[in-house]
Amino acid sequence: MIFVVDVGNTNITCGVYAGKELKATFRIMSKMPRTSDEYGILLMDLLKTKEVDMDQIEGCIISSVVPDVMHSLTGGIVRYLGVTPLVVGPGVRTGIKITTENPRSIGADRIVDAVAAYEKYGGPVLVLDFGTATTYDLVTADGSFSAGITAPGIRISAEALWEKAAKLPKIEIKKPKSILAQETISSMQAGLMYGQIGQTEYIIKRVKEETGLQDLKVVATGGLGRTIADETDTIDIYDPALTLEGLRIIYEKNCG
């Protein structure tokens, strides 16, 4: 079995693969400082809860956009799970060519998503990840990561509303019954959700216009991705495990 770990700005998402089958997933917060022992014990407890036999874990791969947690996290994995993680970065084979102006500036999570979308669905493909930031990444037919767009995520936008406007409350982020809101909470929900849907549709439209790829596949992932995907026909596929799949694929390319 392979233990895959995606360290995001908000959560650390973990999965366990037996071959190509995803056997278990769980999340922990990434913003809370932890020692390597705390990470190790927490991961062991969560794996036991998911009925994963840790003796069967043969390898591990990590992608991370939060450098501060890596020393403790990798130390905990080595000490308590008994495997040395492969960390996605320069020198790791991905099967994707990065042709942007500064390839090293592309986050590991975006590369992993691009690998999974290209391997699973082919190219050209536009990969959307609705996370802390909302990202749109273009992978061409020959497997080149050629362009990316970055926007504030829904949660960032929501936090900006209630932190910067004294009279606006914290709210649950969900789609209201109607865009024609008649009170504060549903008006905020309408602005956040329908605003994100509108942004998504416009960016996809512009990417197709500027590339001329009207048959471009659009694949989405990320926490709030399903809600957006359900509300627009511009997204072809919602794949909640896309990032974990990408990690598995990259591991197999390097260690399989």
For the stretch 100-126, pLDDT in tens is 888 888 999 999 999 999 999 999 999
pLDDT > 90: percent of the chain? 86
Quote the pTM value.
Answer: 0.93
Positions marked active-site: 109
Q: Is 154 exposed, middle or buried (0-12, 13-18, 19+ CB in 10 A)?
A: buried
Residue 133's SS3 state is strand
Check if the beta carbon of residue 4 is closer than 8 Å to that of residue 20: no
Summarised one tens digit per residue, pLDDT across range 15-26 is 999 999 999 999
Task: State the pLDDT at residue 102.
Answer: 87
Q: Which residues contact 191 (CB under 8 A, 6 or more apart)?
A: none
| Token pair of 159 as six digits | 């936090």
When pLDDT is averaged across residues 84-111 and rounded to a whole number, the result is 92
When pLDDT is averaged across residues 222-248 and rounded to a whole number, the result is 94
When pLDDT is averaged across residues 211-227 and rounded to a whole number, the result is 93
Q: Is the pLDDT of residue 224 over 90?
A: no
Cis geometry, peptide bond prior to residue 124 (ω within 30 degrees of 0): yes
When pLDDT is averaged across residues 50-57 and rounded to a whole number, the result is 94
Q: What is the signed CA dihedral for 183, 184, 188, 190, rounded to 10 degrees?
A: 0
Check if the beta carbon of residue 241 is closer than 8 Å to that of residue 108: no
Check if the beta carbon of residue 52 is closer than 8 Å to that of residue 14: no
Task: State the pLDDT at residue 166.
Answer: 85
Q: What are phi and psi of 145, to 5 degrees?
A: -80, 100
Which H or E run contains 30?
Answer: none
Selection from 138, 142, 106, 145 nearest residue 209 by Cα: 138
CB atoms inside a 10 Å sphere around CB 205: 11
pLDDT > 70: percent of the chain? 100
Selection from 37, 14, 36, 16 nearest residue 27 by Cα: 14
Averaged pLDDT of the chain: 94
Beta-strand relationship, 144-152 and 133-139: antiparallel
DSSP 85: P
When pLDDT is averaged across residues 34-57 and rounded to a whole number, the result is 96
Task: State the pLDDT at residue 195.
Answer: 95
Q: Which amino acid makes up residue 188?
A: M
Give the residue carrying structure tokens 């913003």: 31
Summarised one tens digit per residue, pLDDT across range 154-206 is 989 999 998 889 889 998 988 999 999 999 999 999 999 999 999 999 999 99
